Amino acid sequence: MPNLELPFSISEYATRLDLVRKSMDDNNIEVLFTCDPSNMAWLSGYDGWSFYVHQGVLIGPVGDPIFWGRKMDAVGATLTCYMNNDRIHGYSDDFVMSDKHAMLDLSNVISDYGWSNLRLGVELDNYYYSAKAHQTLSLNHNGNILDITGLINWCRAIKSDQELKYMRRAGQIVERMHAKIFDIFEPGRRKNEVAAEIYHTGIWGGEDEDGLFGGDYAAICPLLPTNKEATAAHLTWNDKKIPNNSGTFFEIAGVHRHYHVPLSRTIWLGEPPRDISFAEDVVLEGIDAGISKAISGNTAGDVAKAFYTILEKHGIKREGRCGYPIGISYPPDWGERTYSIRPTDETILKPNMTFHFMPALWMKDWGLEITETLRIREEGVAEPLANVPRKLFVKS
């Protein structure tokens, strides 16, 4: 076994592999291929900014996971994966940005292991799995190819103690990020200057009983739209000066070892209008109602219905889900892409599930985001993983 400092124990990686293999058996899958970098890291430990080329992890009927990727990235796999180097395969650079597709090499690797006639599971609905990749693999694999989108993601739903330790560190980081934002956010300052301080604080990290720890890059860049911009959910920053008498929401995440704790707050510069203050009161009441239902044994839908009931009582209309599971993630998204906090979702909440409760309002002239990342406890209501006052922040 490589002499590496791994983020998790070998036994934890083995437990994850057993969990995935059980799910493979349940779904009649003999070999699995994932190219989702979050799933790759969770299964193997691989950590590198190489997801712009074809790469992935193979799980066969026996043995450790197999890393497959560009030869120069296979070097990174030897430095981050827990497997022995004979489970790491690198393809030559003539497969990169070429008419000679890398999936030809993957099919040869699968064949070399004697798996070319086995049922192969792939993630058809994944950011990193292209139509051309599937076409090429389909033409060169003799066995059936089946869709296993979400199979590994669901295996990640319940967090281990070590994962929760990383998420609590990420929670401390996002606390520091919001404190820095409130300290420096003022009329006349350029948005990009604020974004720079967000990045600096997030990457600097924090400190706990084990000493100093650093932050990682987030799967989503900081979102900080102002006034009319904040009616849209996903605008980033610009180099304009911040106006007085304005509202800006900050959707950011603390990240440690790629484990995310997103947390959104809104700052109003000046005296908040009456409709903003009213919306704050309603959202806070709704958040309390939702958290009161975030209990082991309840459903994701129970949380959403509690929140929407409060909105309806006060005559506020909102569409869409109001939360999603989170954990380890790489760009372009920090969600785990399994269940959703929406009224129709019947997923049973279990201890150590973690999700971003995201009941934001994007109205005609403004946006308001006050959110929490929550862990389902064994008993009682969910635990917030960060401690930032739950309110509209006002600077006059």
Same domain, yes or no: 341 and 229: yes
CATH of the domain at 61: 3.40.350.10
> How does the average pLDDT of the chain come out, rounded?
97
The domain boundary, picked from 155, 190, 208, lies at: 155
Give residue 212's domain range: 161-395
Provide the number of structural domains found in the chain: 2
Is residue 4 in a domain? no
Q: Can you read off the two tokens belonging to residue 263?
A: 């947390």
The number of helix segments (H) and strand segments (E) in the chain equals 10, 17
**DSSP code string of 184-196:** H--TT-BHHHHHH
Pairing of strands 206-208, 211-213: antiparallel
Same domain, yes or no: 215 and 310: yes
Same domain, yes or no: 147 and 27: yes
Quick one: pLDDT at residue 89?
Answer: 98
The continuous run of DSSP H or E covering 66 comes out as: strand 66-70
Quick one: pLDDT at residue 1?
Answer: 53
Quick one: pLDDT at residue 396?
Answer: 86
Alpha helices in the chain (DSSP H): 10-26, 37-44, 71-80, 102-112, 131-140, 151-155, 161-184, 191-204, 274-292, 300-313
Choose among 8, 44, 15, 50: nearest CA to 330: 50
Q: Can you read off the two tokens belonging to residue 122?
A: 């792939």
Neighbours of 209 (CB within 10 A): 4
Instruction: For residue range 138-192, list pLDDT tens digits in order.
Output: 999 999 999 999 999 999 999 999 999 999 999 999 999 999 999 999 999 999 9
Cα separation, 311 vs 289, in Å, equals 11
Cα separation, 33 vs 123, in Å, equals 8
Cα separation, 312 vs 387, in Å, equals 28
Neighbours of 185 (CB within 10 A): 20
Same domain, yes or no: 178 and 293: yes
**DSSP code string of 111-131:** HHTT-TTS-EEE-SS-TT--H
Same domain, yes or no: 89 and 198: no
Is residue 2 in a domain? no
Same domain, yes or no: 130 and 211: no
Q: For the stretch 385-395, what's the b/e string if a residue is b when 16 or more beta carbons lie within 10 angstroms of its beta carbon?
A: bbebebebbbe
The domain boundary, picked from 134, 155, 176, lies at: 155
Low-confidence ranges of the chain (pLDDT < 50): none
Quick one: pLDDT at residue 47?
Answer: 98
Residue 340: helix, strand or coil by DSSP?
Answer: coil
Is residue 237 in a domain? yes
Same domain, yes or no: 252 and 386: yes
Quick one: pLDDT at residue 3?
Answer: 79
Cα distances from 188 to residues 112, 386, 395, in angstroms, run: 63, 30, 14
Is residue 259 in a domain? yes
Instruction: For residue range 258-284, list pLDDT tens digits in order.
Output: 999 999 999 999 999 999 999 999 999
Cα separation, 208 vs 327, in Å, equals 20
Same domain, yes or no: 293 and 384: yes
Q: For the stretch 121-136, what's the b/e string if a residue is b when 16 or more beta carbons lie within 10 angstroms of its beta carbon?
A: bbbeebebbeeebbeb
Is residue 355 in a domain? yes
Same domain, yes or no: 233 and 382: yes
CA atoms within 13 A on the CB side of 144: 7
CATH of the domain at 368: 3.90.230.10
